[in-house]
Every structure is written in C-alpha cells, then in structure tokens.
Structure 1
Amino acid sequence: MRQEAVMELSPQEWEELLQEKDEKLKAALQELADVRRALDKSSIVAITDHRGIILSANDQFCRISKYSRSELIGQDHRLLNSGHHPKAFFKQMWATIGSGQIWRGEIRNRAKDGSMYWVDTTIVPFVDQQGKITRYVSIRSDITDRKNMEEELQRSQEKYRIIAENTSDIISMVDERGDFLYLSPSHRMLWEHEVPNGQIQNLFGWLEEDDREIMDYAIRYVYSTGKGYMAECRIRTERGTPIWTETKLNPILDEAGNVSAVLLVTRDITDRKLSEETIHHLAYHDALTDLPNRRMYIQHVTKEIMQAKRFQSNMAVLFLDMDRFKDINDSFGHDVGDLLLIETARRLQACVEQGDIVARLGGDEFTILLRQIKEQPQAEMVAQRIMAELQKPFDLNGHLMSISCSIGIALFPQDGDQAEDLLKRADTALYSVKSQGRNGYAFFDPTMEAKSLERILMENELRKAIEQEQFHIYYQPKMDIATQQLTGMEALVRWIHPELGVISPGRFIPVAEETGLIVELGEWILREACKQNKKWQDEGHQLKVSVNLSARQIFQKDLVEMVTRILGETGLAPAWLELEITESIFVKMEEATVVLKQLRDAGIQISIDDFGTGYSSFSYIKSLPVDTIKIDASFIRDIHHNQESQAIVKAIVTIADSLQMNVIAEGIELDDQAEALQQNGCVHGQGYLFSKPLATADFEHFLLNR
C-alpha cells in the first residue's frame, strides 16, 4: 500500500488494519509455539554459541542426557563425549558447520550415569548480517533402540559368518540357475577348488555330469514348492576322484514370501557311501565266495525269464550241493571246508558259458542258470561237466580230497515260468537224487512233488505238540564283550518230543512256516518270554528279552494288537521287549515299514537278525524303524584272521553308528573272535563263548552267578 493511501485512511480503517496485523502476528506466534512444542516432545534441541557452548537445552535433552538444565548450560558438548568416535569425526563436523553448511550424522553420547545413547543429529549454523556465525541449533532424535538392534544384528551376522567359515560343512546360496550367490571358504578343504574373488562359479560345473539332473530337479523343486529337499550328488575335485556329498536345500524367502534363493548345506559322505557300497555288495553277494546270493540270483532269473518269454527261448536251472560236505567240516574243520567251497565256486564258474550265472544259496548249496539252451541234452552236458570237474582232487592246505555232487535240473518253460518255481523244482529233483544214493543228476518230474512221509508226519506231530505244549523256552545271554556284563537274553524255542526227544528247530520251524502254524506257535513263545521276563524284573533283574518274529508273523493282520495285548496281560513294560526280524521282510518293504513303525510307536525295540545273509541293504535299513543290527555268525567265524571279515564288520559298525543303531555279533565262540570284534568297534555279542542257550532254571542260576 502506497504511503499516500495509508495517510488517507480513516481512524476506523487504521484500527481495522492494526487489528488484522495483530491477528496474523498472533497466528504466526501460535504456529511457532506449536512447532516448538512438537519439537520439544519429539526431539532433543540445543542452542550453542559459535564456540559450541550450550546456551539453551530443552526438556528432551535433559531427559535423555540425565543432566539438569543448569548442568548443561554453559558447558560444551565434550561433556557428552563417549569416546566412541575418532577426532577426525568431530574435525570434519566442525569444518562443515564452520563453513556455514548444515551437518547431519549419527553420534554416540554418554549420559550422566555413564550409559550410552545414540542420536541422529542435524546441526544448523545461524549467521548475522555480516555473515558471521553467531550460534548453532542442533536437533537430535534418539535412535538408541535402532542402533542396538543394528549392533545385535551385526553380532549375529558375525557369529553366523564365523560358523559358516569354520564349519566342515559347505554353506552356500544359489539362484535358480545354480549360480553361487555365496560360498563358504570351507569348500576349499572339501572340493580342493579355489574361487578367485569376483569369480563365483556355477554349481553345476562342479557336479559329475550324471548327477546334474538330480541337483537341477532339487533346485527347481525348492523354487516351485517353497519346501526343503535332500539330494546326494558327486562333486568333481582337482584330484580327479569324485566325492559323494549330501546336500540339504532350503528356500530363502523375500518380503513377499517368494523364493529368492536356495540355501545349501553340503557335507562329505564319501566314507559312508563307500561303506554302503560294501554293504550293498554284501547284500547281493555271498561273503565267502563272492558269488551272487539268493536275492541277486532270483532277480537275474526273473529278468532272464522275461527275455525268454519275449524271444521264446529255453533256460535251465541247476540246483547243486556237495555230497557229505558235513563230514569234511567235521573231519578237517571249517577253515578247510571254506577253502573247498571257494575252490568249488571257481570250478563251477569255469564250467559255464559267459552270461550264465553261478550263485551260492548257503552252506554247500549252489545254483546255476543256463541261458538260452536249445534242448535238454545241453543242460545234461553241463551237469556231466560239473560232476567230472568236482571229482578232480582238491589240494586244500596240504589235504588232498575228492568229492562228488548231486544236481537237480528244472527247465523253462515246461517246469515253471517263475524264478522261485524253477528253483523249488530243481531242489525237488536234487532231493530225488540224494534219496537214491547221491553222486548224480536228475531232471524234474511232476511225480517228485508228492510230499514225503516224513514231512507229513512232521506236520501232524507239530500240530499235536502245539496243543499239548511240548515246547520249552531256552534263553541265551547277550553280553557286553569288554566287561562281560549281562545285557539281555534271546528267547529260543525248543521242541522236546515225548518219544523222539529234542527235535532241532531247523527241522520243525520251516514246516511251521509253510503250514502257517508259526503264527500260533509264535504267539505262545512271545507270551511265555514276556511272562518269564516280568518275573525276573520283579526279582530285580532289569534285562531286555528278544523274541524272534518270522516274516509270516510280521504280515499277520493283528500282530501289533496281539503284541500289545500280551504285554498288558503279562505286565511287562514295552521297553523290556525286543522283536527280532529277518531280512526276508524286505521283499514287502512298504508293508513291513508300517508294521514296524507301529511296534516302535508302542515302545518296543526292533532288531534285524542274521544281518548280511541275503536281503539286507543300508538303503533299506536307514529308512526302517530299526534299533539294533545283529551281525550273522558267518562273518564272525573267521574274523580273528580274515581281514575281509574284519572290514565288513567295521563297515557295518560305522554305518550303524551314523544311523544311531546298536550292533550285536552272534555266534562268538573264541576269545580271539571277541577281541577282534572289540578292535573293530563292536560292543555287544552272544555265543557259546559266553553261554549256550539255557533252560529257564539254568538261566536263573546263571543270573545269580552274574
């Protein structure tokens, strides 16, 4: 407004103008008061002169610094110096504000009581009309909680960095293509690769080519499902020899919950895989002769039958055993008998064509598959060749001996179109040869399948024995090999016939299995063993009793209910019962797993009996709910002087330890065997060295003596 216009205003207009300006000034002052009030409530505000001497401090400043206003006024900020920041930090700050510029930063201060706090600080310089700095206004926000969280996070990150860089496992992160986002330094020790800085490589380039598809699937699975995955792959090293690794893959999620990367924890399992390969070979091969065992032989025959059906070709199965082999064992000992079996295996292999299969079923029993024979005389020629070859003298550790053999022959397709049927009918033909005086061969004839009178009588007597309770339970102790401490006992059934005396389990158990009587007999054995163990428990003997279950019992529908019912009736706690199963259950792996898990859930322990004699493989064992592995006596017999047997036992113990399973050796007869078992890590055992199976009264005497 021009001066002339102002002078022309009337008194009333002057009053209105002054009132308007007064209201604007009040509003501006109120706004400044509101800002100051808000600033005081939320921030630390201080005013210093150009030297940094505090001229003014708000309530927030006093509260957080724990100094009163009078203690702050007239002091400089060195009063609050925590010693955390270097001199260069404050030198740079003063250079900035001294040049008239605003400075921003985070400062750690010390309160009056010695506690530390962090403030996010802005310092604004104010200048006069001549451009000289007259004072500084500092506005600070308390960020102590945030800084504490950051420090805690940093400590956590440092802790996990130390773990990642020093663990023997390989910690890494990869993207969807397998490119490394992070790789812990421990890879150098395991893979023997160096990764230069800035040259992180792709995971697939280090994998064996045949295993890349496995890892590719694993990564894609984690990305697509957001779930973890376990993979086993071989890694190439600079040595040229691949190593086996086990990798656990887990998703890393972003804020939106999407998979942004995959975390891999990789460990070297080469030793375990080598042990598993040893066990796998053992599962499919005879330990003494290294020939295929029954399991592998049946698989081969089944495969060849499919081929023969396709091409309409013929085959022959030969079942062979050596005549009076038991006499050789009894006269010269098992070592000579084993040498005879090894040499027999070698001669049998020399009698057949390439592609034909020779297998050992156990004892002195061998079987041979002749592939693609055109007519019966070809099988007859091979049988004659075998008999002639085995009749040549054997020189075994200075002992010269000649043996004969008996051979049964079944032909495909006329005698059967299943592997087990052909083997069974070849065995029937073999039995016919033996009944006629041995040292010969015979082809299967349907009339041979008629049951022998002895078999019929055995079945009838077995039924009567169950009704009349002619059976008795004997107990064989289980011992700690080193301390000779009794750790448990195995319940073994014995048949004492009123007229025939003691009948070997080897004679009546197979009949019971075939007829199904084993189910009724097995329930009686379990009840008697639990009842007796409960009695011993009440007398102060805290021991676990082991009871054998046949494959037929495992697959009976009410097994779990029957076992738990007997435990309830006898009052024996489940923890004091162990059920021993044979490897034959692996034929029906899925069904067996369900039953065994139910038994384990009931608190009952599970043991694999006669481990290594036919079906077992740790690829099966590690997925089964099993507590104990019993090493078969065939591996213990020569462990004190056979390095291969020692290696097999050590491999079993090593893998069992890694799977947190117990190991017990059976058939220990010599002190040297017990010592060799201890040296190879086996703690528990049973056998005649400690005690033969004992009747109940004798076992009670054994308990009292212990």
Structure 2
Amino acid sequence: MTDNNKALRDKRSIKVLMLGLISTMLLILLGGVFGLNLWQKKLYLQDQLQSHARDSATSLGLSVSHVADPQDWVVASSMVDAIFDSGAYQGIRILDQEGRSVVARTSSKDLEGVPKWFVRWLDLQAPVGEAEVIAGWRPVGRLMVQSDPGIAYRELWATLRNQLAWFAVVTVFAFAAFHLLLSSLLRPLQRLEQAAHRIEDKHFDVSLPIPGTRELAKVTLAVNSMADHLRRSFEEQVATIESLRKLALLDSVTGVLNRQSFDNRLQAALAGDDGDSVGALLLAQLSGLSEYNDQFGREQGDALLKQMAEVIHDECLSHIGSYVGRRGGGCFTVFLSGLTDSRAEAVAERLLERLTSLPLIKNWGGSNRLHIGVVNTEGRTPLAQVLSVADFAMRVAQKSCTNAWRKGRSSGREAGQKPLMATEWQSLLLSTLADKGFYLHFQPVLSDDSRSFLFHQALVRMNMEGRVLAAAEFLPMADRFNLALKVDAQVLEDALTRLAEHHEDAAFCVSLAVSSMQSTEFADLVGAILHRFSAQCPRLLLEVSEHALQAAWAAFDRLLQLRNELAFRIVISRFGSTGMPFGYLKSCPVDMIKIDPGLVKNIHKDQGHQFYLRSIVQIAHSQAIKVIGVGVESQDDWDSLVQLGVDGAMGYYLFRPQESPPHMAAP
C-alpha cells in the first residue's frame, strides 16, 4: 500500500485536469469575447469622434461664414468660444488665407478616473474636421475642429470595468458549476475504487448503483458482474470444502466423526501438552445392532444410530472442546475435554439414562443393551492404551447383565505419583499466581522453506515439588476454578515484557483460553495490557480456538477492534475442529489459521485428508490468510504439508519447546 501511495503522488487527478482544461477554455473564450467587444467598441467610438469632428467643423464653418470679416474676427471668435466651452473638443482653430491662426482654442485637461496605462493601451486618435470659411462668395479662411477623446476613454473604461465584473461573476459560477458537475460525474469512480479495495480484501458483497453516464455504467456493470462471479466462486469453493470435510472426516450415517478422524484427533491431543489432552474418554456400545437390523430393517437401524448420535452430541455441546465419533456398528466414542472424575462420571450417568430412554431402544427390550466405559486421559499417553482401558471398563459393564457404565483406571500417571485433590490444586494455582510463578517456554514455528521462523509459540509452565508441569497438567484445573483469565493475563504480560527487553526475538504467539474470553473482565484486562505494551503489539500474535467463535463471539469481536487499533495479529487455532462452515473466513479478517492436529496426524497416508487440507489452504490464501500445520511428528508429514502449500508448521519433530526462543542461524 505504501508503494501504491508513492506512485499516486506523481499522478494527476482527472478532476483537477478537467477543471483546469475547462477553466482554461472558459478563460480563453470569455477573454476573446471580452477583447473583441472592447475592440469593436473602440472602433465605434473612433468613428463617432471622426464624425463628431467633421459635423462640428461643417456646422461651425457655416455659422462663422455669416459673420466672417477678414479684417475683424472678434464675432467669429465669440462663436468659437461658445462651442468650445461645451468641453467636447480638444482644439478649434481658424486660419486665414495665408495660413495664419487668427482664432485658436485648445484644451490639455487630464482624464480623471481613467488610468494612463489604459489610455496608452487603447490610444484613441483625436480626429480633425475641416471646413472653409466663406464671406461674400469667396473663401476668407479655414476652420479646423479636433474632437476630445476623453469622453470615449471614459466610456471605454466603464465598459471594461463592467465587463470584467460580469466576466468574474460568470467565471466563478461556471467554475462552481463545472466542479459540481465533475464531482457528480466522478463520484461513481470513487465508489468503484472503494469496491475494488473491498474485492482486494476478499469482500465480494459488492453491488454498486448504476450511474447515469453510459461509459461509467458499463464499467460499473462489469465490476458488479465480476464481484458476483467471485462471490459465487468463493461460495462454491466453500461448499466443495464442506462436502470434502463430510466425506473425509464424518461418518456417513450419523454425521459425527468417523473412526479414523476421531482417533487422529485424540492421538494428536494426547501427544501435546497444551491442555487439550486432559479430559475423559467414553466408549459407548449398543449390543445386538445386527439383530436389530434383521428384525426392523437397515433403515430403522440407521435411524436408531442417528438418534443415539444426536443425544450424545447434545450432551457434549455444553463442554467446549468435546467431540464425538463412531467406531462402527453401535459403538460410539466421546472425548470430554477438561472433564475428569466426578464430572465425567455424571455425564456418563446422564448419557446412559437418556440413551436407554430412546423409544427405539426401550421398545426393543433394552434392559441389557447399552454399556459405557469411562477413563480419564492425560498428556503423553498412547492412544491404544487409553482405548484399551476404556474398552476393558465397557466389558466390565457388560458383565453386569444390565444397562450400566463403569470407570477404568487411568494409566497415564507415573507410578507412585499421588494425584492432588481439587482443593490442593486450587491452593497451588492461587499461590503461583500470587508469586507470579508461571513462566514461558517457546516452540518455534518453522516456515515452509525451513529457512526462518514465522514466530514462537509461548507455552506456559509452572513448577510443583521440583517438577515442571506442562499446560496440560494444570490448565484444566485453572478453568475449573475460574482462574484461566488470570493465568492468560500473566502469560500475555510476560510475553510482551520479553519482547520489550529482547528486540532480537521474533514474534510471540500467546494462546487465550475460551473460558478467559467468556469472562466479563476479559476485554478490559487484556485491552489494558495491550495498550500498555502498544509498541510491542506488531510482534504479537493472539491465538484463539475456533470454539471461541461459537462460545465467545463478543470477546473475539473486541479483539478484532483492538487489532485494528494496535496492529497485533490474530490466529485461529484448531481450525476445522468445530464443524463451522468455512465461509466465516470471508467476514472474519484473521491473519493465520492453525490446522487441527487431528488433520495433520499421518496426513502422508491419507489422500482424503490431503485433498481436504489442500482445499483449506487454497481458500485461506485467497483471503490472504496464512496456514500453519500443528502437531508434526514425522518427516513424511512435514513433506506432505509443504507440498500441500502450508506456510509453516510446528511440532515435536521440528522443534521441541525450549526455555529461550531459538534463533535461526544465518546461512
């Protein structure tokens, strides 16, 4: 934009050029008319002076001839005085036969009210009229009368002033009229420019009014048509991606995640340490589905599965970050993000009650049809181990010979490690906040060419009894005790402080919890911190989960407003995890999206996920949004992501979190 502004400084405005051209032509036209009128007026007055001198000489000559006496010119002199005193003459003389002046009257008075330059410029001639003086039928002398041009000069000067005044009035009104006319004619060009900028910003909802001029109307119609075509292309692309998402990720019968998508997503969460791994896994099994299909038909069996999926999905809606999958047959898996122990058990109890109350199960004789296994999940636990524990718990429930749920023992905790009670967690978190004991580790995001870091992800850590706790181990408890906002505020302030002290560091990305954004204090607290570190904001990225767009839109909208003011960047994480239509990217001007790790996991083996991710990259790049892959655990996945066009990626295979931000060595 800066280069465009520099280029525009050397360009002239069409409005200025047209006003200048029209004004010049108007000046030439009016100046020509004015000069011609003045010249014709001069010629007319010159003729009048000539006629006046000639007629006056003839008339005065006849009068003087009646009283002329070659020996006495006194009477003739009196008659000349009477005529000369009228002031219309510059000189009157009578010459005798020998050419001697016998009567002479002249005037040399100044022209009052007429500038000398005007007199010199027009230079009117004072014509002389002659007539013979006759006495007794013989000539006795010659009369010469010269008219005074002063009156003509005064008349010409008055004409000049009047015409100049009229000329000025006409020029001002004409200029104003041309200015208004050009502004009206060029206003559609301003709307076209604004429309072009909106299209440049990927906003295709452009519909310009058709101007009254044919040429501009053609251009406007073309722009409207182009914007409509781009809008339809974008919507078709979004619809295509939605179809791909359903084919690649969702179960065709129930609409929940298919087995592979669920396993990839949970495996990626278990491999991370950002808090997404903490929760509970529920394994729900409906026994005898094949018998149900044989008895009632396949369509009725599919209807039963859909009803079960709707109940399970409805139960999970209130738990942000939770998701549902179908493993096959009548087996469903549910991950409850952040819920452990009694809260997960309560969900299992409600699910069992609601599912067994479904008419299709109740009427079937469902006293021993539904069984649920529950297991708590923690970070760095193999997926197979978690599923095995949940399956074992579900088998134990089946042995009860009634609809039941059972909880399995979590094997993710280190041997001999005693879990903290809820009150102990609360006390530990409060004391850490009071002591500002949270600190940061940094994980780089590598660019697609592997030559630079796009930014560093700031990861929060805390100590407990000499052991470093990752975010996954304490953030769920911070959410439980409504302390997430205070933790996020301290992390944000620490990250900005380091940016202020270390100018060599690249940009930092700080993640904001959904529960923080749901707090009524979020906008004021985060806004105050950002304003205090406004100089560092251009090197800051704020990351919000895609779930926040559903659960805390008002806070997200406030972040967008702050972004426009302070120039930090906004990142959407876990993109594609909520099932939201991707069309929101068109009206949600974010800077980057982070692909959900479940899509990245083993992507080199999954052609469907590759095609789906390539479509996401295309639509994001069409909106000038960068795409970041998350959870890269192998070279094959990294190579596939680069081929698919992502702008960068992060993961333990590329770089592990470090105490200080690493810097790329110069080549």
Scaled by the length of structure 2, what TM-score is found? Answer: 0.48
Hey, which of these two has a bigger chunk of strand by percent? 1
Hey, which of these two has a bigger chunk of helix by percent? 2
Whose radius of gyration is greater, 1 or 2?
2
Scaled by the length of structure 1, what TM-score is found? Answer: 0.45
